[in-house]
């Protein structure tokens, strides 16, 4: 990690700045006329795209990709086939655009949205960085090279030249960010989306970051930058309350992703985020029924007063609404085992193995089943309270 940070810093300091202002792209035909040095940026962006794909970080669901691309094409119709969007299988609250028109949105960020208009707000903002060629105009170098090194390390991809400083991963100057806000807002309105949702997009992210004490060094997890987004869009929206929200379409298209995001949060012990979102009845309705299992596990991991009872309540809710979801039976079985409720533990754990015959922890569960069968009692010693198993 130290060598990676040094490499990031060296490249960031070496990246040349383009001092002269450049006009925004008027349309797809103009993309062939690039400024000196811009071709190199595009080539490095292409290499970064390939590196992300090789690392297996790009979400492979074609239906999800088509859904995201449809929103971007609606926002920037004159750049169809030149602006491309992909979801990254990463839990952090981040999105960024590359100089070649590639836009990436982390699954963790998508999962926090409530409707299509909120997602469109971020895509419109990132698209504006491309159309107005902010990468080429960027005058400041990345000040937090170590943060970029952390991003790259978590994504498992190599550093790629000037992209350290010339993507929107850390945000641009205030001037460029405000321009992206204004252009993105205009695109949002022109595409027929509800302007008011642009404010809510960032407000509920700010709420989560404050409540969960998130300290990730990314654009959408930065308190000052989020507040700037909120203030900027409040100034832009004014009395414009018309437009489409697209809630049902968004929920249908992103259900699997949002459920997978809960699993990723749970595996990373990000239980506070899960509780913050799912403990609200209005947000719970946005998630598939299996979400109750993840909320139960989040309560179990937090382990505050009353959380064990809350965990059991959510596990039983998951059994009622998603009776074939195997992890719920494992979780409930472990809870019974902890309490010394041997027969209930046996029943739940056997059901778990029946539903998930190829479970990675099958030997582990079978060992405790044999132990209970042999002793007839359950004396819990803490061995079964580790991280929850993933859905087989």
Q: Examine residue 300 and state whether it is found in any structural domain, yes or no.
A: yes
Question: In this structure, are 41 and 157 located in the same domain?
Answer: yes
- Do 22 and 35 contact (CB within 8 A), yes or no? yes
Question: In this structure, are 158 and 295 located in the same domain?
Answer: no
Q: Examine residue 56 and state whether it is found in any structural domain, yes or no.
A: yes
Question: In this structure, are 47 and 90 located in the same domain?
Answer: yes
DSSP label at residue 387: S
CA dist 32 to 80, 82, 370, Å? 15, 11, 69
Q: Examine residue 341 and state whether it is found in any structural domain, yes or no.
A: yes
Question: In this structure, are 9 and 122 located in the same domain?
Answer: yes
Question: In this structure, are 282 and 226 located in the same domain?
Answer: no
pLDDT tens, residue by residue, 364-379: 999 989 988 887 654 4
pLDDT in tens, the chain (392 residues): 333 333 333 333 333 444 456 889 888 988 988 887 788 888 888 988 998 899 898 999 999 999 999 999 999 999 999 999 999 998 877 888 888 999 999 998 899 899 999 999 999 999 999 999 887 776 334 434 444 454 555 555 544 434 433 344 455 667 778 888 889 999 999 999 998 898 888 887 787 777 667 655 455 544 457 777 788 788 878 766 679 999 999 999 999 999 999 999 999 898 988 998 898 888 888 899 999 999 999 999 999 999 999 999 999 999 999 999 999 999 999 999 999 999 999 999 999 999 999 999 999 999 989 988 887 654 444 444 444 444 43
Q: What is the predicted pLDDT for the residue at 376?
A: 64
- Domain membership of residue 334 as a residue range: 262-375
Q: What is the predicted pLDDT for the residue at 212?
A: 66
Q: Examine residue 389 and state whether it is found in any structural domain, yes or no.
A: no
The CA-based dihedral angle spanning residues 43, 47, 52, 53, taken in that order and rounded to the nearest 10 degrees: 100
Q: For residue 319, what is the domain's CATH number? A: 1.25.40.10
Q: What is the predicted pLDDT for the residue at 9?
A: 31
Q: What is the predicted pLDDT for the residue at 172?
A: 66
Tell me the pTM.
0.81
Phi first, then psi: what are they for 173, rounded to 5°?
A: -65, 160
Question: In this structure, are 223 and 319 located in the same domain?
Answer: no
Domain boundary among 188, 220, 237: 237
Question: In this structure, are 93 and 201 located in the same domain?
Answer: yes
**Cα of 339 vs its chain's centroid, Å:** 36
Q: Examine residue 60 and state whether it is found in any structural domain, yes or no.
A: yes
- Specify the number of domains making up the chain: 2
Q: Examine residue 385 and state whether it is found in any structural domain, yes or no.
A: no
Question: In this structure, are 185 and 297 located in the same domain?
Answer: no
Q: Examine residue 16 and state whether it is found in any structural domain, yes or no.
A: yes
Question: In this structure, are 288 and 194 located in the same domain?
Answer: no
Q: Examine residue 101 and state whether it is found in any structural domain, yes or no.
A: yes
Question: In this structure, are 218 and 313 located in the same domain?
Answer: no
Report how far residue 280's alpha carbon sits from residue 210's, in angstroms, rounded to the nearest whole number. 16
Question: In this structure, are 232 and 273 located in the same domain?
Answer: no
Q: What is the predicted pLDDT for the residue at 209?
A: 76
Question: In this structure, are 219 and 334 located in the same domain?
Answer: no
């Amino acid at each position: 990690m130290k060598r990676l940070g040094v490499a990031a810093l060296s490249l960031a300091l070496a990246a040349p700045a383009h001092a002269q202002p450049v006009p925004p792209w008027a349309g797809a035909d103009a993309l062939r006329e690039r400024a000196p040095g811009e071709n190199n940026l595009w080539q490095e962006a292409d290499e970064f795209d390939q590196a992300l794909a090789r690392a297996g970080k790009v979400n492979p669901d074609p239906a999800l990709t088509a859904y995201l691309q449809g929103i971007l094409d609606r926002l920037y119709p004159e750049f169809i086939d030149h602006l491309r969007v992909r979801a990254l299988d990463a839990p952090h609250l981040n999105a960024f655009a590359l100089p070649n028109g590639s836009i990436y949105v982390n699954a963790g960020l998508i999962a926090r949205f409530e409707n299509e208009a909120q997602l469109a707000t971020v895509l419109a903002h990132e698209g504006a960085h491309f159309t107005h060629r902010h990468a080429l105009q960027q005058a400041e170098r990345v000040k937090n090279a170590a943060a970029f090194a952390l991003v790259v390390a978590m994504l498992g991809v190599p550093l790629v030249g000037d992209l350290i400083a010339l993507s929107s991963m850390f945000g641009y100057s205030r001037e460029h960010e405000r321009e992206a806000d204004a252009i993105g807002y205009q695109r949002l309105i022109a595409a027929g989306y509800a302007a008011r949702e642009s404010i809510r997009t960032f407000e509920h992210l700010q709420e989560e970051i404050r409540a969960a004490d998130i300290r990730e060094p990314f654009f959408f997890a930065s308190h000052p930058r989020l507040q700037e987004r909120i203030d900027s869009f409040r100034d832009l929206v004014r009395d414009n309350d018309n437009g489409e929200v697209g809630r049902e379409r968004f929920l249908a298209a992103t259900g699997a992703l949002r459920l997978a995001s809960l699993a990723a949060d749970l595996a990373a012990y990000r239980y506070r985020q899960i509780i913050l979102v799912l403990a609200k009845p209005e947000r719970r309705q946005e998630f598939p029924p299996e979400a109750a299992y993840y909320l139960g596990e989040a309560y179990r991991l937090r382990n505050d007063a009353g959380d064990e009872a809350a965990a059991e309540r959510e596990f039983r809710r998951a059994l009622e609404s998603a009776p074939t979801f195997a992890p719920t039976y494992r979780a409930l079985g472990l809870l019974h085992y902890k309490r010394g409720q041997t027969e209930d533990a046996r029943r739940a754990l056997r059901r778990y193995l029946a539903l998930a015959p190829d479970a990675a922890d099958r030997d582990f569960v079978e060992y405790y089943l044999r132990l209970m069968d042999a002793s007839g009692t359950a004396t819990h010693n803490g061995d079964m309270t580790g991280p929850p198993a993933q859905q087989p």
